[in-house]
């Protein structure tokens, strides 16, 4: 299925119970199912982060505009998107669009000796950006994210750390969201303002546009120098090496667009707000008792819901499908008599009769089956829409025939060439350099510079 | 110990690693220990809430000023404390001081049938209030809290629910924070704007001022009517009964002020950011190996920290005390040789030799011992500073001799009498009515009205 945003997308997420509009433009509400989904994501990432020794902190929302002005590059990247607040006695504050300034001002006060390093911090919070065009989860004026900020004694440690975080994000998108990834480093024109290098995990959605899912930035000691974050090492002033990295509620948008079908939402079992839907085919004492026992056996094991708002089983099934229940268990007289259950997976229409004693084993197997199905579907979408482009002429003909997807090209990664490209080939952009190894024998397809990198061009959100 | 705010209080929380100033006035940073503490609190409350079937949601920060104007009473309670934001194309937004408006506008869109009731929602978020005088955790321009909002089909259900939530808050303050509580309902002059009844859990701090720790509001169906939240029941338009309830990072301030001593922070074991401090008396291979084994046995069981920033054990002990480590384990040559550990509790100076094989049992017993010690200390403070006041003359003489504490009085709970009292006896206020049973034979001590309620007067934060 090819989803047409906005109508279909918005009914999907509203009827699926993961989204509701709020009062202010570009804001969203996370109803219980939406929050639960976000919470599963948070739990996975928190567990992974804590294995690296990352600690959770909270920094506030307000940044005095005077502090924000300190890092010019940084400011230029964000200033059109400010929300300005009138503070106490007319002071001017901005709502954090990202928290680098808050973290570095704090670091500069706190850091005194290398013995405090590394400082590995993460916070979950909301950020604010004054976007002109908004789409739920994909582009909002307020959205939720996690942002990590770390300081390291030695450059080598910072670079090692970045690899570890990048692996977590890849694992997260590939195995938790079950979405096939495109990974690499950002081009000169696309990397984060002030960063030496930005690494990105992206995906290709069914509408053949790219979505950025997580980014990892390496700052060397540039930010430390700007914010006077330093420590004394053998009577020499040293500046720590730093990183930042983030992922956001955009993931929810990616999940919906990647996996849903015309009947509603579809999620991997592991993170589904409702893993198991229980639906009674009829209402009678036998069925009620049989269902009660089943419900009891699920408590503390699965996120499940008894769908019984309607007296018609077919309507309850439809509602379960809308909300993306990964498994539906249907109970009628036959099931009670034969000590079995009718089970169907959200990803297909097959009804399977499962012996009651085999149920937990069946659920375990289904979890894997669902994950593989979604991963393969996403991988297929990516593979079918990836094009190796050997020459400028080839690219031009694809562009002119309005072809969409991922174009693998040879590109010099110089800012000048990238700027010319972006103006000429709207709405395409460089998504990432997939291989940082320089090709000395292959020239750039766009400016004929004698070296190049294998890079990906696509449309993006 | 009697703490003198601000100097002592602020060094305590800064050196204890639970607080740092941020850039904007009245904001705070939660460093790892501060966040950990907040997270323990969150975990306890979330577990308790989910047992009542309460679901977590997230609503955004912006409230269009036009929506806020809808509920006049509500607005009057909050308008002096607004932070105003200039939104897209000059629209005016306020940063939520509380989220009633956001919740009720959402409810009015969502609620269609009684089958959806009860709706039991809670969110953890930050709120914004433009306070003139700020003190870390006790009064801030941005602070963290949880706010619950529920809708019920029948009045009886709403009132039952309020009792359950109130029990959770009492349990939380008494047994998790180990602070003795003062509980009751708010007077006419002190209850939440728009509420029929506000129930409060307060405590008396060592400086003999009261601090409000959690409140529970009952709205009957007033808010539902104002915001047009209704459903169709047998062709009749019905308005659900609603509640709201909250607790905040103020709790952290209460913990610090209630339990700390001159050496630093003290926490109950259960919520302490660092439950166990491990300190080496010397450095040698034997001690290192012995310590490694101990550390391994703690992983996944306790929040512990190896204090070794200094080469001097005494400095490491001081740092552990500042951060409020509930238990200190000190390891030297003797301990290694005898397969034992020197343990001391943060709440006293005794050093106890514990056999290695008895350690876990000892820790378990210590947890209870610490909790009882802190509870008793807090209870004693409350009891020693509670005064039964039988007459107006008695109150006047206590007031004139500048006595501080809790004064139990007879009060009519009429707004007129309360307003006169507040003007006359600055800075005292009615904290709560401790017994809602009316005394028909005892007249109000302040206006001589022929009925009264047993009520508490105190100074408060």
Residue pLDDT, tens place only, B248-270: 999 999 999 999 999 999 999 99
Considering only CB atoms, which chain B residues are within 8 Å of A61? 27, 61, 126, 128, 142
| B 387-446: CB under 8 A from A | none
Q: Is the dihedral of CA A373, A377, A380, A386 positive or negative?
A: negative
Interchain pair B24, A86: CB under 8 A: no
| Average confidence score pLDDT of chain A | 94
CA-nearest of A126, A139, A21, A127 to A82 is A127
pLDDT at res. A49: 98
pLDDT band at B72 (very low <50, low <70, confident <90, very high): low
Interface test with A, best of B47, B62, B67 (most A CBs within 10 A): B62
To the nearest whole angstrom, how far is the Cα of B376 from the nearest Cα of chain A? 32
Q: How far is B402 from chain A (nearest CA, A)?
A: 34
pLDDT of residue A349: 84
Interchain CB contact of B302 with A (< 8 Å): no
pLDDT band per the 50, 70, 90 thresholds, residue B66: confident
B89 Cβ contact partners less than 8 Å away, ≥ 6 residues apart: none
The answer, for B290 touching chain A at a CB cutoff of 8 Å, is no
Looking at every residue in chain B, the average pLDDT score rounds to 94
d(CA A180, CA A453): 22
Q: For a pLDDT cut of 90, what percent of chain A falls above it?
A: 88
Say if residues B452 and B445 touch (Cβ distance below 8 Å). Answer: yes
Q: pLDDT tens digits, residue range A76-133?
A: 666 667 899 988 888 899 999 999 999 999 999 999 999 999 999 999 999 999 998 9
B402-423: average pLDDT: 96
Q: Per the CB < 8 Å rule, is B58 touching A35?
A: yes
Least confident of A145-149, B113-117, B167-171, B199-203: B113-117
Q: How many residues does chain A have?
A: 461
pLDDT of A3 above 70: no
Cis ω for the linkage preceding A6 (within 30 of 0): yes
pLDDT at residue B114 in the model = 93
Percent of chain B with pLDDT over 90: 88
pTM exceeds 0.90 for this model: yes
Select from A28, A60, A87 the Cβ nearest to the Cβ of B28: A60
Residue B194 banded pLDDT, cuts 50, 70, 90: confident
Give the CA distances from residue A71 to residues A104, A193, B27, B32, B459, in Å, rounded to whole numbers and listed in that order. 11, 10, 22, 26, 46
Mean per-residue pLDDT, B364-379: 98
Tell me how long chain B is: 461
- Residue A7 pLDDT > 60: no
Flag whether pLDDT at A440 surpasses 60: yes
Residues 170-209 of B with CB under 8 A from A: none
Write down the pLDDT at residue B394.
Answer: 96
pLDDT the model gives residue B87: 83
Q: Is the pLDDT of residue B1 over 50?
A: no
Judging contacts by C-beta atoms under 8 Å, the chain B residues touching residue A56 are 32, 35-36, 39
Q: Binning pLDDT at 50, 70 and 90, where does residue B71 land?
A: low
Tens of pLDDT along A30-43?
A: 999 999 999 999 99
Q: Do the Cβ atoms of A123 and A58 come closer than 8 Å? A: yes
Tell me if B55 and A62 make a contact (CB, 8 A cut-off): no
Evaluate if residue B4 carries a pLDDT over 90: no
Residue appearing with tokens 């024109």? A189
pLDDT category at B196 given cuts 50, 70, 90 is: very high
The three-state (H, E, C) secondary structure of A296-321, written as one string: HHHCCCCCEEEECCCCCHHHHHHHHH
Enclosing H/E stretch for B288: helix B285-298
Residues of A in contact with B315 (CB under 8 A): none
Average pLDDT over residues A328-357: 96
How big, in percent rounded to 5, are the helix, strand and coil portions of chain B? 40, 30, 35
Indicate if ipTM > 0.90. Answer: yes
Question: By the CB < 8 Å criterion, does B50 face chain A?
Answer: no
- The pLDDT of residue B77 is 62
pLDDT at B392 over 50: yes
Q: Residue A235: left (phi > 0), alpha (psi -120 to 50), or beta? A: left
What is the per-residue pLDDT for A1? Answer: 46
A329: CB partners within 8 A, 6+ apart: A276, A277, A278, A279, A294, A341, A342, A343
Helices (H), A1-110: 7-15, 32-51, 65-68, 72-78, 100-110
Which long-range contacts (C-beta less than 8 Å, at least 24 apart) are formed by B11-14? B12/B256, B12/B260, B12/B264, B12/B265, B13/B136, B13/B137, B13/B256, B13/B265
Are the beta carbons of B193 and B77 closer than 8 angstroms? yes
CA distance A133 to A138: 10
C-alpha neighbours within 13 Å on the C-beta side of residue B275: 18
Band (pLDDT 50/70/90 cuts) for residue A6 is low
| Residue A353, beta-bridge partner list | A342
Average pLDDT over residues A407-427: 96
Statement: residue B24 has pLDDT above 70: yes
Cα dist from B41 to B45, B174, B213, B258, whole Å: 6, 13, 13, 16
pLDDT in tens, A269-310: 999 999 999 999 998 999 999 999 999 999 999 999 999 989
Of residues A345, A352, A330, A176, the one with CA closest to residue A251: A176
Average pLDDT over residues A209-219: 97
Residue A408's beta-bridge partner residues? A388, A456
B80 falls in which pLDDT band (50, 70, 90)? low
């Amino acid at each position: 299925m090819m989803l047409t945003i906005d109508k279909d997308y918005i009914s999907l997420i509203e009827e699926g119970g993961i989204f509701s509009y709020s009062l202010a433009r570009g804001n969203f509400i996370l109803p219980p199912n939406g929050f639960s989904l976000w919470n599963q994501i948070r739990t996975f990432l928190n567990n992974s982060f804590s294995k690296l020794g990352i600690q959770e902190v909270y920094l506030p929302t307000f940044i005095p505009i005077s502090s924000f002005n300190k890092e010019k590059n940084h400011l230029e990247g964000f200033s059109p998107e400010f929300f300005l607040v009138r503070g106490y006695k007319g002071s001017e504050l901005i709502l954090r669009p990202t928290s680098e300034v808050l973290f570095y001002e704090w670091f500069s006060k706190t850091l005194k000796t290398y013995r405090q390093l590394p400082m590995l911090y993460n916070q979950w919070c909301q950020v604010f950006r004054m976007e002109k065009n908004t789409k739920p989860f994909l582009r909002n004026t307020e959205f939720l994210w996690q942002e990590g900020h770390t300081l390291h004694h030695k450059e080598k440690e910072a670079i090692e750390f970045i690899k570890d975080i990048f692996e977590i994000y890849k694992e997260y998108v590939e195995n938790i969201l079950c979405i096939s990834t495109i990974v690499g480093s950002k081009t000169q024109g696309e990397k984060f303002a002030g960063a030496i290098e930005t690494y990105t995990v992206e995906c290709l959605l069914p509408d053949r546009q790219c979505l950025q899912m997580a980014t990892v930035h390496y700052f060397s000691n540039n930010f430390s120098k700007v914010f006077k974050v330093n420590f004394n090492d053998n009577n020499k002033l040293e500046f720590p090496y730093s990183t930042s990295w983030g992922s956001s509620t955009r993931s929810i948008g990616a999940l919906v667009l990647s996996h849903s079908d015309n009947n509603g939402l579809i999620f991997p079992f592991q993170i589904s707000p409702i893993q198991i839907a229980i639906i009674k085919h009829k209402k009678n004492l036998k069925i009620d008792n049989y269902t009660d026992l089943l419900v009891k056996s699920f408590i503390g094991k699965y996120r499940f819901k008894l769908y019984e708002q309607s007296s018609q089983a077919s309507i309850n099934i439809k509602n379960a499908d809308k909300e993306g229940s990964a498994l539906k268990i249907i109970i009628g007289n036959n099931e009670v008599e034969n000590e079995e259950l009718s089970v169907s997976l959200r990803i297909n229409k097959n009804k399977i009769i499962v012996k009651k004693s085999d149920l937990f084993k069946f659920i375990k197997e289904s979890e894997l089956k669902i994950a593989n199905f979604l991963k393969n579907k996403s991988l297929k979408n990516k593979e079918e829409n990836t094009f190796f482009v050997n020459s400028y002429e080839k690219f031009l003909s694809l562009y002119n025939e309005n072809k969409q997807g991922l174009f693998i090209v040879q590109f010099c990664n110089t800012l000048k060439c990238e700027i010319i490209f972006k103006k000429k080939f709207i709405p395409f952009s460089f998504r990432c350099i997939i291989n940082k190894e320089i090709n000395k024998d292959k020239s750039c397809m766009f400016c004929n510079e004698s070296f190049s990198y294998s890079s990906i061009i696509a449309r993006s959100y």
